[in-house]
Structure 1
Amino acid sequence: MNRLDGKVAFLSGAARGIGGATAKRMVEAGAKVVIGDVLDEVGTKHAREIGATYLHLDVTQEASWVAALDATVKAHGKLDVLVNNAGIFNGKGVEEASLDDWHKLVAVNLTGVVLGTRAALPHLKKTKGNIVNLASIAGLVGSQLDPLYSLTKGGVTLFTKSTALEFGRKGYGIRVNSIHPGLIETDMGQKTFVMRAQQVGTNDTEQARKTTLGLHPIGRLGVAEDIAKGIVFLASDDASFMTGAGLVVDGGWTAH
């Protein structure tokens, strides 16, 4: 089940966190995995440890995407799976965020996904492969604390559905799905606790963590492996009848 034997997968932003856990899981599932990131030292070390390949990738630059995916195909002969995982978080409100803050969010969380999709298309059309986009529950429901981040992830959600429809209409045979994590215990998750504490006027990150935990009916926070399992499923042939779908892995948060 959820095997990726013989498949070649490229993951952006996978030097650590959810992407790093997914890369490891994909290698274990039989895929040849290439990690693209700007964290060269961390990414190289992680790739070596799990049996993957590391390439430098700036997701905001079209030429960087083209070079990385061309190198992947040159090394492994094809591309079957693209995971648009790279993303950044900004917990500032509409009034607090600067225009530069917004531009950075858009460059990574939206433009990066568009550029990755465009660069992968020529290769995925040959294999009738698939794309998994990292969205968020913040891309499904409103966020009173993170409206700008929510806006970018909402864009990823609808871009996923729209490209699934477009590629279907054009007969490409490429599936496109998104995954929607809740708050996951990664470096980005810890940053969220810090921002939450600041937003309520304290520096009590532990209380912010407890408050967030209370929003999870399942009784715990998520870990990177929880999301990695969902991504591997969407990338595998077990999800062959899924396209334009959003897989929610949030411990029940959005059930409220």
Structure 2
Amino acid sequence: MADVDLTGRTVLVTGGAQGLGAGMAEALARAGASVMISDIRSDIGKTTAAGIPGARFVPHDVTSDRDWAAAIETTVAEFGGLDVVVNNAGVEVTQLIVDTEPESLLTMLNVNVVGTMLGVKHAFRAMRPDGPAGKGGAVVNVASVAAAIAFPGISGYSATKSAIDRLTRVAAMEAGKLGYGVRVNCVLPGLVATEMGTKLAVETSSLGLFDSPEAAVGEVVELTPSGRLGEVADMADAVVFLASDQARFVNGVGLRVDGGMGM
């Protein structure tokens, strides 16, 4: 993102091996940040990190409290601090409400909600004045436009992303009340043609909700005043902004980056 300087900042990006997470990691590095990519997919994560100057990789299951502690410890040890945590890791399971599988719902709750909550927990512990980083900072959670619209086939996903939006606001208040010096915001991305976005179009059409994946995409575009799908760069630039000093008085916000779809 032009004119944003994150030189000297250290950022941990979860789910950074591919898709939006990889794009966010690249954009943060271009802005000057030292980036630690974490992901459950070590093979892809190592390759992605190798392609970003100065980036490193740590294996990380965001549903594990122990993995979170280890990822934070590794980041602080290798880069000398921690200034920003981007809670991007997430999963989406498409299913009709009448066909809800509890196991699938629990997977989304664990990764999307518990994983984000643990990320906020460990970011606070590291960044607050008595933490190993100890200089305050910023947390950017990744929710979704699904938290703001009623799109069929993604009820469980929408519920978890709505939870992230609410969690963000409570976390910002707690951090302020306790003097942690940490801002907490979230972005609500619109549909992007990543692997997850493409899968959603295919699966909603296979459920009979749309005539074809192309029709599903067309419905999204029709609902979007900007008249197009989102791009990875659109979301990455928003994260860079929220991580920067240009957003120093932006706190507890759910920033919709959806071309107006969720207005």
Residue of 174, 181, 196 corresponding to 2:182: 174
Aligned to 1:235: 243
SS in 2 for 1:3: coil
Point out the more displaced range, 15-24 or 211-220: 211-220
Aligned to 2:80: 77
Residue 67 (str. 1) matches residue 77 (str. 2): no
Aligned to 1:251: 259
Query: What residue identity is the alignment partner of 2:108?
Result: L
Residue of 57, 61, 65 corresponding to 1:54: 57
CA contact (8 A) 2:63 2:111 kept: yes
CA contact (8 A) 2:143 2:187 kept: yes
Query: What residue identity is the alignment partner of 1:4?
Result: L
**1: CA distance between counterparts of 2:182 and 2:158?**
27
**1: CA distance between counterparts of 2:33 and 2:262?**
32
CA contact (8 A) 1:183 1:222 kept: yes
Aligned to 1:96: 99
Give the CA deviation at 1:198: 1.7
**2: CA distance between counterparts of 1:106 and 1:63?**
18
Give the CA deviation at 1:95: 1.9
The percentage of aligned residue pairs carrying the same residue is 36
Aligned to 1:148: 156
User: How many residues matched?
Assistant: 255
SS in 1 for 2:51: helix
Query: What residue identity is the alignment partner of 2:113?
Result: L
Give the CA deviation at 1:143: 3.6
Point out the more displaced range, 86-95 or 148-157: 86-95
Point out the more displaced range, 138-147 or 76-85: 138-147
CA contact (8 A) 1:157 1:246 kept: yes
Give the CA deviation at 1:213: 1.9
Flag structure 2 segments of 5+ consecutive residues without an equivalent. 129-133
Point out the more displaced range, 211-220 or 124-133: 211-220
Q: TM-score, normalised to structure 2's length?
A: 0.93
CA contact (8 A) 2:97 2:153 kept: no
Flag structure 1 segments of 5+ consecutive residues without an equivalent. none
CA contact (8 A) 2:192 2:232 kept: yes
Aligned to 2:114: 111
Residue of 226, 234, 251 corresponding to 1:226: 234
Query: What residue identity is the alignment partner of 2:176?
Result: G
Point out the more displaced range, 96-105 or 119-128: 119-128
Superposition CA RMSD, Å = 1.3
Give the CA deviation at 1:145: 2.9
**2: CA distance between counterparts of 1:65 and 1:154?**
23
**1: CA distance between counterparts of 2:16 and 2:250?**
24
SS in 2 for 1:41: helix
